[in-house]
Amino acid sequence: MSSVDSASVSAGPLDGIRVADFSRVLAGPYASMMLADFGADVIKVESPAGDDTRSWVPPVDDHGVGTYFSSVNRNKRSVVCDLRTDEGLARAREIALHADVIIENFRPGVMTKFGLDYKTLQRTDLIYCSITGFGSTGGAHLPGYDLLVQAVGGLMSVTGSLDSEPSKVGVALVDVVTGQNAALGILAALRHRDATGRGQRIDVNLLSSLLAGLVNQASSTLATKESPQRMGNAHPSIAPYETLCTADGPLAVAVGTDRQFAGLVRVLGVPSLASDPRFATNTQRVAHRGELKALLEEQLALRPAAEWSSVLSAEGVPAGKVNSIVEALELAEELGLDPAVEMTDDAGPRTSHQVANPIHLSETPASYRRLPPLLGEHNDATFAALSTTSTGK
């Protein structure tokens, strides 16, 4: 784990871009954190109760801050604006008028009620990103929760084994993908503004993000008019591409080519399977996946998963044991990927352990400048700074 000295941080590619973040929970805060990591000045606008995830505990870090909140809120300033009061609404509007980008994930119509919607703000250079669960038209009344979208969006129908109930993914993946889409849309809009001087409205929703994220599964459904079935850890179009049993636990084997299959069966001591008519090509292996799995597991049962992972990887066959998250972080560290950073707040002092930004830029890398903020931590400094600048951008 690397340590971060905020004093030595250089300007990022989004330095000078101010983001007013009215979002909460995951998709919006994830998007704004990605922008903040690359230099954007993100002002997190919270209600007096704070972002919902501040209370989603346990677990907490060494300072009692919820790890859910911390995971998507570094590098931001927190201010409190009670939108139910005139003073709070005036402060929120002041922040909005000084922002290059606004991100919000209220139910459709809420920002309009407060006069903080794209049309009311009347800024030709404003980039305004709205994140909803099901869009702002026919699905405006539906609540946008990740579990719900995984269910109605089809992801659960292809997750789990055929003899088990449909299962959600082990993390709020739809929120994360939607946050990435929002960040990408904002960057595209900033590029357009650089060229034309004009901002624009961006609409991103969880259901559309999930459907696009289903990639081959959605594509096959459109082509065949048939919905894929749950296959556990197997792949509908590739074999062997799944977890297989070994002497002490599962091994993930991701064979994508005939060459890799030949290497696999050679290491397992059954090289003749590569020329067996049932398994010579991927199409044939998919057609006979049940027979193939039984033959492979018969050999794999002779040694533990970690040992097979080592010898198969050395042979160029993609294989690995199923790690815990602790083991996954350790693996990334061993590979020199620097998967985590330790941020320190000299004013506290506080520290926060964070998963590093996965995007590596050679000239303007991500930076880690501010710990996930305490509620309203930056009220005084933020409003004092805004009062010294002209209203509007």
Q: Which positions are catalytic?
A: 175
Q: Are 133 and 175 in contact (CB under 8 A)?
A: no
Strand partners, 241: 254
Rounded distance between C-alpha atoms, residue 203 and residue 205, angstroms: 7
Distance from the Cα of residue 86 to its chain's centroid: 36
- Which of 164, 167, 140 is CA-nearest to residue 154? 167
Residues ≥6 apart with Cβ < 8 Å to 250: 243, 244, 305, 321, 322
In order of 236, 267, 299, 308, the CA distances from 261 in angstroms are 17, 10, 14, 15
Residue with tokens 């799995």: 293
Q: Are 329 and 356 in contact (CB under 8 A)?
A: no
In order of 242, 260, 309, 311, 331, the CA distances from 246 in angstroms are 13, 19, 10, 14, 21
Q: Are 67 and 53 in contact (CB under 8 A)?
A: no
Rounded distance between C-alpha atoms, residue 288 and residue 274, angstroms: 13
